[in-house]
Amino acid sequence: MENNETTQKSENKSSKWKSLVKKFGIGGIIFFTVKGIITSTLIYFLGKNFWIIIKDYIAQWFD
């Protein structure tokens, strides 16, 4: 019984990854991963001021 349950769980995980790859492609998954790492790093170092700094930075583009 345990082997069947383990096999089904691993198949569900692999099919989830396959559906993500089909939807976004390899490049998309890499992009979202890198974006998440950069965002997490910025939030960690900038703390509460993160969104204010980002908003000001983007506002400079439109001035």
Render pLDDT for 10-24 as a digit per residue (tens, 0 to 9).
Answer: 556 677 778 877 887
Render pLDDT for 25-52 as a digit per residue (tens, 0 to 9).
Answer: 888 888 888 998 988 887 777 776 777 8
Please report the DSSP string for the chain in residue order.
-HHHHHHHHHHHHHHHHHHHHHHHHHHHHHHHHHHHHHHHHHHHHHGGGHHHHHHHHHHHHH-
pTM of model > 0.75: no
